[in-house]
Structure 1
Amino acid sequence: MSLNSNEIFSRLLELYETQKMNELSTLLGYKESWGAATRKRGGIPYEACVNAAEKFNVSMDYLLFGNDEEELSLGKNVNKLKQSITDGVFKAIQKGVITPAEEVSISEITQTILNEMDLNVFMDIMIMKRK
């Protein structure tokens, strides 16, 4: 197996749901020109892959080598779950169902909920749903 910068960037673009390298660069926290320059010189964006693996719950093996196409779909579903929880927490706060302490953010509440969830069970359900 060999690493291919173009393929790695294609997978990152797909995960971040954009087709523009400058937008991907910004989403990853870099200058707009970072992605195009890195890809042009054949650089492997290891740090960006680590961040994407954590954010989208996909493996480095998928990001670097493209193994396991099903993993991409599962990662996107986990990300949608996280967004759904965040939206639900926000609505619950708006309706007065929950009142967080002043120093507690919505993202901290979401992360606490996610930490208590078994994402492997969620992923198993998603796999069973596809069959």
Structure 2
Amino acid sequence: MAIMALAALVAPGCGERRADPLQLDGNLLTAMNQSGSDWTDVEIWINRQFRVTAPKIAANQAFRAPLDHFVTGYGQRFNFSRMQIRDVRLMAKGPAGAVVEIRKQFQGDALSEVLKGVGGQR
């Protein structure tokens, strides 16, 4: 009985955690529109240099793009095997032209994570 009461108290505080709206999985980027409204004129940028566009991402739908589809204004393609991703952001228009901007949060940079604790203090 006490266990059921404890479960009833804890369960309301356990909200469903939403997935990251910008996900990287190998050579694939997925942008998820978790809102109840369509996004239009969608631009997704890698490192503020490489871009891919989509006319629309419907409400509660996902858009997927291989990273080699991202290009600069000069036609250079993102090379997943040779380039590091430091910044990913999405910009779009929401209902009534409202600006939608999402930036992927990274945990530190890759080099500092690899070298954490190496070398000590000098």
TM above 0.5, yes or no, is no
TM-score, normalised via structure 1 length: 0.21
**Greater relative contact order structure (CA < 8 Å, 6+ sep):** 2
Structure number having the greater strand percentage: 2
Greater C-alpha Rg: 2
TM-score, normalised via structure 2 length: 0.22
